[in-house]
Amino acid sequence: SQQGEEDPQALSIQEGENATMNCSYKTSINNLQWYRQNSGRGLVHLILIRSNEREKHSGRLRVTLDTSKKSSSLLITASRAADTASYFCATDANDYKLSFGAGTTVTVRA
């Protein structure tokens, strides 16, 4: 079973627009992480936000975390064609494993 659920399942945007995706989870966590996957290959770590943090930025990425609602969002600003990928949230409940959602597939149109 998967801990996180991403929403929407798929997203299609124009280059230059912002992309927002959400993640909900079920249990208490130590931190929440976002990963990107291109064409079914390895995952690339994007950003980690700890349970005592509410917002974090990294370049064009902005992540928020609301532990009371057990939810997180990932915002990609000024999207580029290279941002086309699947994005996964993963929760770390301090039990030596990451629990992933099913992912959001983002397509950036030129």
Partner 1 sequence: DAGVTQSPTHLIKTRGQQVTLRCSPKSGHDTVSWYQQALGQGPQFIFQYYEEEERQRGNFPDRFSGHQFPNYSSELNVNALLLGDSALYLCASSPSSFHEQYFGPGTRLTVT
Residues that bind partner 1 (CB under 8 A): 1-2, 4, 30-31, 33, 35, 40-45, 48, 88, 90, 92, 95-103
Residues in CB range of 77: below 8 A, 6 or more apart = 18, 60, 61, 62
Shortest distance (Å) from residue 36 CB to partner 1: 10
CA-to-CA separations, 60 to 39, 53, 63, 65, 80, in angstroms, rounded = 21, 18, 10, 17, 10
Shortest distance (Å) from residue 41 CB to partner 1: 5
Nearer to partner 1, 54 or 97 (CB): 97
Q: Cα–Cα distance between 11 and 105 in angstroms, integer?
A: 6
Shortest distance (Å) from residue 100 CB to partner 1: 3
Nearer to partner 1, 23 or 110 (CB): 23
Nearer to partner 1, 19 or 35 (CB): 35
Q: Cα–Cα distance between 103 and 23 in angstroms, integer?
A: 9
